[in-house]
């Protein structure tokens, strides 16, 4: 991805004239920095924000260093769009899967909507295959990797503000799920957090220590596989107790989460979706931002 663009490059990328683009910059519709010589430069994250907000069509993604997009995806990720994603993931068509997800994002869709919708449902359907399809496990592992590649690509075009609050998270010991915790990190990045994802199989003590070292405002725990209710409850209890000392809020979620883990623990919140995680992050950011 190209970190800084000239007005001419962005103009070409979205198929408008350079003079229009310079005018929008001078009117403050698009934020630019200046080179030592006084030339306008547009950070990639600002270019992406502008494209999303104005529904501009990215006709030349290559100028931004982005791969080919699925321009027909500029509509809502409706049922047929979800089926297309499922098809690409099942067939191992990585560039098409990434292009489709990126196109949805660039057309203004929010990440929680994409992860709670098409990505989750595609992975659910793929996860049903291994019982009766000898290639099911191969397809599931490959599809998981493709989803992760797509999320990492999204992270490279989202800007983290300098004064971002910090978040730390992962999946607990015993849980091999890497996708949901990466989705959480990606959503938090889009919500303006500096998110550190420790990935699957992270011991509760490591999460607590990382939260302390990073001075985290938010800790997330993502549970994909059933690790046993007692183990989960004890782990969350230990974690929430350690977090009280560093003033971090804990949000626990994932398809195998038990809502009872938050009982009697005011610094623990249970969420079921990426939309809930985003809402929680927004609330926390508002509460922690000085007036
Ligand atoms: C991918 C996957 C794996 C991969 C994980 C690899 C990877 N790189 O991530 C691998 C292949 C390793 C795997 C292994 C196993 N798996 Co598995 N796996 C899945 C699968 C297909 C997809 C899960 C996924 O990542 N989905 C995509 C994410 C984005 O969606 P999500 O998990 O639903 O999360 C959403 C919400 O829960 C929420 N959310 C998630 N995290 C968080 C966090 C917060 C804070 C919040 C607020 C919200 C939130 O937002 C997300 C988006 O909407 C599911 C099928 C399914 N129905 O989900 C089975 C599934 C979870 N696996 C299952 C099983 C049985 C296994 C195995 C035991 C199989 C085996 N016999 O070996 C093993 C071992 C698991 C272990 N001990 O850890 C069962 C679980 C049953 C259970 N009761 O736990 C499932 C449901 C499949 C099935 N239908 O039977 N698995």
In this prediction the pTM is: 0.94
Taking residues 253-258, what's their average pLDDT?
93
**What's the CA-to-centroid distance between 31 and ligand 1, angstroms?**
41
Residue 25 has pLDDT above 60, yes or no: yes
Query: Three-class SS of residue 59?
Result: coil
**What's the CA-to-centroid distance between 233 and ligand 1, angstroms?**
19
Which residues, 6+ apart, have CB-to-CB distance to 253 below 8 Å?
Answer: 180, 184, 220, 221, 222, 223, 270, 271, 272, 273, 276, 277
Q: How far apart are CA 197 and CA 187, in angstroms?
A: 11
Residues lining ligand 1, judged by CB closer than 6 Å? 115-116, 119-120, 123-124, 126-128, 140-141, 144, 175-180, 183-184, 220, 222, 224-226, 251-256, 271, 273-274, 276-277
Nearest-atom index, ligand 1, CA of 141:
11
pLDDT higher for 250 or 259?
A: 250
Ligand 1 pocket test: which of 133, 143, 177, 200 has the largest number of ligand atoms within 8 Å of its C-beta? Answer: 177
Residue 291 has pLDDT above 80, yes or no: no
33-34 and 40-43 beta bridge pairing? antiparallel
Question: Which residue is closest in CA terms to ligand 1's atom 18?
Answer: 127
Most confidently predicted of 76-80, 105-109, 145-149, 265-269? 145-149
The pLDDT tens digits for 200-255 are 999 999 999 999 999 999 999 999 999 998 999 999 999 999 998 888 999 999 99
Is 274:112 a contact under the CB 8 Å cutoff?
Answer: yes
Residue that is written with structure tokens 């990797």 in the block:
145
The pLDDT tens digits for 129-146 are 878 888 989 999 999 999
**What's the CA-to-centroid distance between 82 and ligand 1, angstroms?**
19
Residue 172 has pLDDT above 80, yes or no: yes
Question: Which residue is closest in CA terms to ligand 1's atom 28?
Answer: 180
Q: Residue 162: what pLDDT?
A: 84
Beta bridge partners of 250: 219, 268
Query: Three-class SS of residue 168?
Result: strand
């Amino acid at each position: 991805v190209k970190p800084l663009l000239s007005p001419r490059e962005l103009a070409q990328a979205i198929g408008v004239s350079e003079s229009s683009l310079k005018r929008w910059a001078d009117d403050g519709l698009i934020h630019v920095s200046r080179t030592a010589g006084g030339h306008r430069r547009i950070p990639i994250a600002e270019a992406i924000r502008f494209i999303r907000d104005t529904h501009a069509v990215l006709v030349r993604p290559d100028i931004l260093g982005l791969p080919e997009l699925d321009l027909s995806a500029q509509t809502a990720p409706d049922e047929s769009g979800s089926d297309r994603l499922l098809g690409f993931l099942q067939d191992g068509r990585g560039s098409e899967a990434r292009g489709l997800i990126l196109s949805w994002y660039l057309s203004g869709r929010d990440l929680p909507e994409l992860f709670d919708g098409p990505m989750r449902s595609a992975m659910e359907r793929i996860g049903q295959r291994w019982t009766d399809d000898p290639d099911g496990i191969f397809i599931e592992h490959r599809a998981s990797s493709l989803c992760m590649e797509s999320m990492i690509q999204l992270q490279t075009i989202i800007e983290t503000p300098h004064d971002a609050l910090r978040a730390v998270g992962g999946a607990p010991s015993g849980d091999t799920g890497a996708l949901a915790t990466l989705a959480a990190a990606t959503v938090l990045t889009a919500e303006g957090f500096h998110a550190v994802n420790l990935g699957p199989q992270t011991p509760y003590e490591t999460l607590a220590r990382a939260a302390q070292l990073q001075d985290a405002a938010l800790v997330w725990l993502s549970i994909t596989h059933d690790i046993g209710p007692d183990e989960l409850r004890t782990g969350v209890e230990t974690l929430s107790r350690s977090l009280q000392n560093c003033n971090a809020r804990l949000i626990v979620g994932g398809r195998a989460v038990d809502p009872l883990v938050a009982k009697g623990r005011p610094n623990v919140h249970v969420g079921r979706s990426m939309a809930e995680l985003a809402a929680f992050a927004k609330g926390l950011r508002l509460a922690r931002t000085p007036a």
